[in-house]
Amino acid sequence: MAEIYYEDDADLSVIQSKKVAVIGYGSQGHAHALNLRDSGVDVVVGLREGSSSRAKAEEQGLTVKSVADAVKEADVIMILLPDQVQGAVYQAEIEPNLKSDAALFFAHGFNIRFGYIKPGAGHDVCMVAPKGPGHVVRRTFVAGQGVPDVIAVEQDASGNAWELTKAYAKGIGGTRAGVIKTTFTEETETDLFGEQDVLCGGVSKLIEYGFETLVEAGYQPEIAYFEVCHELKLIVDLINEGGLSKMRWSISDTAEYGDYVSGPRVITPDVKTHMKEVLSDIQDGSFAKRFMDDQAAGAPEFKKLRAEHESHQIEKVGGELRKMFTWNTNKDTDYVEGHASR
């Protein structure tokens, strides 16, 4: 069984005695910085010069400095930048300015697992990875709750890295929900696999194929959208509440029977074979190299794929339908429909 830690297993004073630099102020960055601040931690936000996030952070009363200056005075540095830029920023602005005993924290193990960042031996290297978007991490914290985290220590130079990691997790609200002990390798490989094979890649392609099948058969695109996309949230919510069994208990007998007899016709054993191939590409670093090489070249493949999928008919139909959803008020103000040009 996995080791899970809660509020009583972490000493908040451990992180309260440190100065923490949060590098980046995006989805996760704003949540970590604000939650730590509200937990009584001395926080500074490190941003590149000219960052559009500076005003947002300062409006919240946070101290903002350049990445180099934030790192110079910090005991703990949490790097919350996109995976593809972490290595360059680390080499240019973080590593040269690190205190000799500063701890390095990550919310995803990508750069450590695949060697794009190689910290010196004197630094604790730790992970606190909330299992939810930053907006949810912040919202649940304010509500007195928390989002589960996974935590790991890759390098325990101080001998106190685990206590520091648990304290950090408590500072952002993770121990309210429970934090699970893992490793950088396990978190990275399973996270990438889950995203690519099931949660993002698998589900997205299943929705697109289902939509195309119905539309090509002559059904109205709006009806197809509801049947294969809109109702997915209702099903996922039931799974989240009580697993596949509760979902099947909640739906009609017709739907449950169709689940058993038709699901295996669509998701055949060869799908699992392909999943294993994807996992192999993750484990041997092939996916990481493909992603990082493409990013280094200006992301031509990434941008091409993004534009192709954002122009899919289901996105156009869904965009128009969602405008008519009077109940759909839970929207992120920084998201714009049809944002291929970002």
- How confident is the model over 51-64, as pLDDT tens digits? 999 999 999 999 99
pLDDT at 322: 87
DSSP bridge partners of 44? 21, 63
More confident residue, 14 or 337: 14
pTM for the whole thing?
0.90
| Distance set, CA 161 to CA 8, 13, 45, 119, 167 (Å) | 17, 14, 22, 15, 10
Residue 62 CB partners (closer than 8 Å, separation 6+): 33, 34, 37, 43, 44, 45
Strands of the sheet with 63-66, listed across from one edge: 4-5, 179-181, 149-155, 125-130, 103-106, 76-79, 19-23, 42-47, 63-66
pLDDT at 330: 58
Annotated binding site for NADP(+): 25-28, 48, 51, 53, 134
Distance of alpha carbon 26 from alpha carbon 49, whole angstroms: 15
Annotated binding site for Mg(2+): 191, 195, 227, 231
Query: Which of 249, 248, 247, 231 shows the shortest CA–CA distance to 239?
Result: 247
Annotated binding site: 25-28, 48, 51, 53, 134, 191, 195, 227, 231, 252
110-155, pLDDT tens digit by residue? 999 999 999 999 999 999 999 999 999 999 999 999 999 999 999 9
Amino acid at 290: R
Residues with a catalytic annotation lie at 108
Distance of alpha carbon 26 from alpha carbon 80, whole angstroms: 8
Which residue blocks in 251-285 are alpha helix, DSSP H? 253-266, 269-283
Distance of CA 221 to the CA centre of its chain: 31
- The CA-to-CA distance between both ends of the chain, in Å, stands at 43
Distance of alpha carbon 151 from alpha carbon 180, whole angstroms: 6
**Percent helix / strand / coil, the chain, rounded to 5:** 60, 10, 30
Distance of alpha carbon 3 from alpha carbon 21, whole angstroms: 28
Superfamily covering domain 4-182: NAD(P)-binding Rossmann-like Domain (3.40.50.720)
The pLDDT-based confidence of 225 (bands split at 50, 70, 90) is very high
The pLDDT-based confidence of 339 (bands split at 50, 70, 90) is low
Distance of alpha carbon 21 from alpha carbon 72, whole angstroms: 9
155-173, pLDDT tens digit by residue? 999 999 999 999 999 999 9
Which regions of the chain carry the CATH code 3.40.50.720? 4-182
Token duo for residue 146:
């928390």
296-316, pLDDT tens digit by residue? 999 999 999 999 999 999 999
Residue 341 has pLDDT above 60, yes or no: no
More confident residue, 87 or 327: 87
Token duo for residue 277:
């191939």
Query: Which of 166, 152, 38, 45 shows the shortest CA–CA distance to 106?
Result: 152
